[in-house]
Chains A and B, each alone.
Chain A
Amino acid sequence: DAGVIQSPRHEVTEMGQEVTLRCKPISGHDYLFWYRQTMMRGLELLIYFNNNVPIDDSGMPEDRFSAKMPNASFSTLKIQPSEPRDSAVYFCASSFSNGELFFGEGSRLTVL
């Protein structure tokens, strides 16, 4: 398997624009996670899904953030409208139940 695949790897956008980050989890994994990494706050769990259903979104910073998982092989994290403080590396990760968490290589977002 190719591992967790994220796109885009880098995104530069202007404040107010909509940003969509995409993730393809490892085939067969039934858990999917979105994390955000910044120097100030480290690695933060934003939301996670089990069998495509959102289980805990308490880490989503505000209503500008939304995440969907329409099927077992695809998830999106959307920010609308984006702000400079959203600049970070966003990681998607997937796992089996009680299994190792596999991270993608991340999407580096810069909001000007």
Chain B
Amino acid sequence: GENVEQHPSTLSVQEGDSAVIKCTYSDSASNYFPWYKQELGKGPQLIIDIRSNVGEKKDQRIAVTLNKTAKHFSLHITETQPEDSAVYFCAASFNDYKLSFGAGTTVTVRA
């Protein structure tokens, strides 16, 4: 089955700086790569996703890049704000449904 590794496990950044989270996956058949944000006591919420026919996607301060050859994808958050503090999960799937999640990255934005 698919194996997704996520790094780093924790990330502390100064407000206004950028944050980058990296994931690698094992199954070359995977073609859907979503990113979720989970706040304390809540369920994960989709923040951005990318499919294998696209190399990069951007939505305001967040962007995701995908390198299918190297089997890795990354989340970039620019101009971080305190409300960006949360746990972020990457995931990979070949059929949109059976998502394999990374272990998560706890992001802390220091004011």
Contacts and interface: CB of A to CB of B under 8 A. Distances in A.
A43 B98 contact: no
Contacts of B49: 100
A105 B41 CA distance: 7
Contacts of B98: 45, 48, 56
A98 interface: yes
B44 to A, nearest CB: 5
Given A31-B97, A101-B34, A101-B46, A42 B41 contact: no
A100 B99 CA distance: 12
Tell me if B's interface is mostly helix, strand, loop or mixed: loop
Interface of A is mostly: strand
A91 interface: yes
Interface in A45-83: 45, 48, 55-56
For the side of the interface on A, what is the size category?
20 to 34
Contacts of A97: 96
A4 B42 CA distance: 12
A103 B44 contact: yes
A100 B46 contact: yes
A106 B43 contact: yes
Interface of B: 34, 41-46, 49, 89, 96-104
